[in-house]
Amino acid sequence: MDSSLSILRLFSVLAVFMALVISLFVHQVGAAAAQGAADAAAIAVTDLVPPGWDCTEANLPAGAGAIAARAAVDRTAQLAAVQPTAVELRADGTCSVIVAVRVESAGWLGSTGALGVACRRPPSAEGAALRAPVAPPC
């Protein structure tokens, strides 16, 4: 009888340990997916910005929010445990497009949220001034 209780205790400790490890892994996958989705959304929006953009949020291309959301969903589509829940799109006076993507990931110990933020400047905003083909970081 003693050995069966010892085995049960050992199995219980191992099950709790595995649940913690798997939940931590799912949280990290969610955080990486949120950052990748934010990067993809920022790239998708800045690729649509016209050369004469005046760096205001009001003059972003029509449907920029929908394009950012579609890019975020496309990026996380392969991950069954990660679902995007919110996409926010902003523009500031330095001609930067800022995208924040919030995702929920479901692990064995419940669901956790993660936030990914990406900032990107369209090449047309600074290409003439810097004579560089790559946009500088925000």
Which among 9, 27, 16 is positioned nearest to 104, based on CA atoms? 27
Query: What are the tens digits of pLDDT across the range 52-83?
Result: 888 888 888 889 999 999 999 999 888 777 88
pLDDT of residue 127: 47
Asked whether the beta carbons of 83 and 76 are under 8 A apart, the reply is yes
Calpha distance 135→49 (Å, rounded): 13
pLDDT greater than 50 at residue 128: no
**Domains parsed from the chain with CATH numbers:** 2-130 (3.30.1300)
pTM: 0.77
Calpha distance 29→47 (Å, rounded): 27
